[in-house]
């Protein structure tokens, strides 16, 4: 589509495994082989801006107000912004939702829960009827070791952070501060997941399920709900032979949410690329209503440009939720490449399987390990 309008532009597209994207990109930049445009997560762009590897896109946006104002919300664009300068352009929204078997819910008289208490009441009733409430990934998968339990912990910890007034402060946003309020929010979240685990809400095999296993368990009717990313909608629809519903992980009745815990997949222009102006023009093309609408229809993704309509009602529901995401994001404002995050998730799974009261130690280990990684990175 772009070349039809710009026949003098040639594209060479390199597709790499997504779990190696960051490492391959850094290697190519270091070798003087930076691409002109690259996929990148907006909430991880800081470590590239810190070392001058991301091109400042602010002047282009300021010169084109229509483009700057075309995104779903100011918060969406802010995810790729650091110190008031924009470095990463949003392309699609990424968040974890609870998919559910609507037919099973209807048969048992369950309404879609809007509070944590309602969700827990439904899960308790399911277990009493021999129904497994959740199909959930508990087995590592590339960059996602036990990711869905980790995403659940993040969402549950978010409520505690809201109660403690952390969501607009750097303790929560950066996840680097060892404030007691932040520590308590993580410990409380892990203990809630332990409680659900011990009550049988995840079935007996959760620790052994990979992403595709969890999807199959749900699609085959062996789990009433599935924790999964909104970008998995197309795959889930293709597998399930029942009506689908979905909702965000709910807060308790006493603390209703105002923001969604989410990430944004986007594109940036490497500083050492050779065609900045053409690269930025291509980013405008990627975020145009025409391309965004095509992506929404073919991939069932949530695009982040105003004026795009969705044919699937769940997409419409997801997109509406994405309108309210600030100030929780950026979650990983100073992303540090290291092992602490992976180890944290693995230790959390071990804690669930062994059923120990060790949540505080797991959180403490993570905070200390991450502090060392941050220090080592900054020293380099």
Of 139-143, 198-202, 297-301, least confident by mean pLDDT is 139-143
Q: What is the pLDDT of residue 171?
A: 54
> Does residue 330 sit within a domain?
no
Question: For 126-210, where are the E strands, in sequence order?
Answer: 134-135
Structural domain that includes position 20: 2-92+261-322
* DSSP string for residues in 257-320: -SS--EEEEEEE-BTT-S-HHHHHHHHHHHTSHHHHHHHHHHH--EE-BTT---SSHHHHHHHH
Domain count, the chain: 2
Q: What is the pLDDT of residue 156?
A: 87
Comparing 300 with 258, the larger pLDDT belongs to: 300
Same domain, 140 and 229: yes
- What is d(CA 273, CA 142) in angstroms, rounded to the nearest whole number? 29
CB atoms within 10 A of CB 226: 25
CA atoms within 13 A on the CB side of 361: 6
Q: What is the pLDDT of residue 300?
A: 86
Mean pLDDT of 318-343: 62
Comparing 204 with 370, the larger pLDDT belongs to: 204
For residue 84, is the peptide bond before it cis, meaning its omega torsion is within 30 degrees of 0?
A: no
> Does residue 199 sit within a domain?
yes
Same domain, 83 and 204: no
Q: What is the pLDDT of residue 329?
A: 45
Q: Last residue of a domain, which of 322, 347, 367? A: 322
pLDDT tens digits along 41-75: 887 887 788 778 999 999 999 999 999 999 988 87
Same domain, 80 and 105: no
Q: What is the mean pLDDT of the chain?
A: 86
pLDDT tens digits along 212-269: 889 999 999 999 999 998 988 999 999 999 999 999 888 888 876 656 677 788 999 9
> Has residue 94 got a pLDDT over 60?
yes
Same domain, 115 and 193: yes
> Does residue 58 sit within a domain?
yes
Long-range contacts of 122-131 (CB under 8 A, 24+ apart): 123/196, 123/199, 123/201, 124/199, 126/224, 127/199, 127/200, 127/201, 131/104, 131/224
- What is d(CA 95, CA 264) in angstroms, rounded to the nearest whole number? 8
Same domain, 102 and 198: yes
The pLDDT-based confidence of 334 (bands split at 50, 70, 90) is very low
Same domain, 130 and 186: yes
Mean pLDDT of 187-214: 90
> Does residue 48 sit within a domain?
yes
DSSP state for residue 80 in the 8-state scheme: T
The pLDDT-based confidence of 380 (bands split at 50, 70, 90) is low
Same domain, 141 and 244: yes
Between the CA of residue 248 and those of 85, 165, 242, 296, 330, what are the distances in Å? 31, 21, 20, 20, 18
Same domain, 104 and 231: yes
Same domain, 356 and 207: yes
Q: What is the pLDDT of residue 220?
A: 92
The pLDDT-based confidence of 333 (bands split at 50, 70, 90) is very low
As a whole number of Å, the CA-based R_g of the chain is: 21
Q: Last residue of a domain, which of 291, 322, 353? A: 322
> Does residue 329 sit within a domain?
no
Cα end-to-end span (Å), the chain: 42
Handedness of CA 11, 14, 19, 23 (dihedral sign): negative
Residue 254, SS3 per DSSP: coil
Comparing 309 with 372, the larger pLDDT belongs to: 309
* CATH number of the structural domain spanning residue 79: 3.40.190.10
> Does residue 219 sit within a domain?
yes
> Does residue 328 sit within a domain?
no
DSSP state for residue 71 in the 8-state scheme: B
Q: What are phi and psi of 97, to 5 degrees?
A: -125, 165
Same domain, 70 and 198: no
> Does residue 327 sit within a domain?
no
CB atoms within 10 A of CB 372: 12
pLDDT tens digits along 112-126: 999 999 999 999 999
> Has residue 106 got a pLDDT over 70?
yes
> Has residue 330 got a pLDDT over 50?
no
Q: What is the pLDDT of residue 172?
A: 54
> Has residue 369 got a pLDDT over 90?
no
Same domain, 15 and 111: no
Q: What is the pLDDT of residue 14?
A: 93
Comparing 304 with 376, the larger pLDDT belongs to: 304
The pLDDT-based confidence of 328 (bands split at 50, 70, 90) is very low
Same domain, 119 and 268: no
């Amino acid at each position: 589509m772009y070349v039809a309008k710009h026949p003098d532009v040639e594209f060479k597209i390199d597709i790499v495994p997504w779990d190696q994207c960051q490492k391959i990109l850094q290697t190519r930049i270091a070798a003087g082989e930076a691409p002109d445009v690259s996929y990148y997560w907006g909430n991880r762009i800081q470590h590239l801006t810190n070392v001058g590897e991301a091109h400042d896109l602010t002047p282009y946006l300021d010169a084109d107000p229509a483009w700057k104002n075309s995104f779903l919300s100011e918060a969406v664009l802010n995810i790729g912004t650091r110190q008031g300068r924009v470095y990463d352009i949003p392309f699609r929204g990424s968040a974890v939702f609870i998919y559910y078997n609507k037919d099973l819910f209807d048969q048992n008289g369950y309404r879609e829960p809007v509070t944590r208490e309602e969700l827990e009441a439904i899960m308790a009733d399911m277990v009493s009827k021999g129904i497994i409430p959740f199909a959930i990934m508990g087995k590592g998968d590339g960059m996602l070791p036990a990711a869905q339990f980790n995403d659940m912990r993040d969402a549950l910890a978010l409520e505690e952070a809201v109660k403690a007034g952390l969501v607009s402060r750097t303790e929560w946003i950066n996840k680097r501060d060892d404030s007691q309020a932040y520590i308590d929010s993580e410990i409380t979240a892990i203990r809630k997941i332990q409680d659900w685990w011990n009550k049988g809400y995840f079935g007996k095999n959760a620790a052994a399920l990979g992403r595709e296993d969890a999807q199959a368990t749900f699609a085959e009717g062996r789990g009433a709900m599935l924790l999964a990313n909104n970008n998995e909608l197309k795959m889930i629809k293709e597998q399930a032979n029942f009506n689908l519903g979905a909702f965000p992980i709910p807060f308790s009745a006493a603390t209703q949410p105002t923001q969604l815990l989410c990430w944004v997949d986007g594109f940036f222009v490497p500083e050492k690329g050779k065609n900045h102006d053409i690269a930025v023009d291509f980013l405008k093309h990627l975020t145009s209503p025409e391309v965004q609408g095509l992506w929404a229809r073919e991939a069932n993704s949530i695009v982040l440009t105003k004026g795009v309509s969705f044919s699937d009602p769940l997409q419409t529901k997801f997109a509406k939720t994405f309108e309210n995401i600030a100030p929780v994001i950026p979650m990983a404002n100073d992303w540090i490449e290291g092992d602490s995050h992976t180890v944290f998730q693995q230790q959390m799974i071990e804690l669930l399987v062994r059923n120990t009261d060790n949540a505080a130690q797991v959180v403490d280990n993570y905070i200390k390990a991450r502090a060392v990684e941050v220090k080592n990175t900054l020293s380099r």
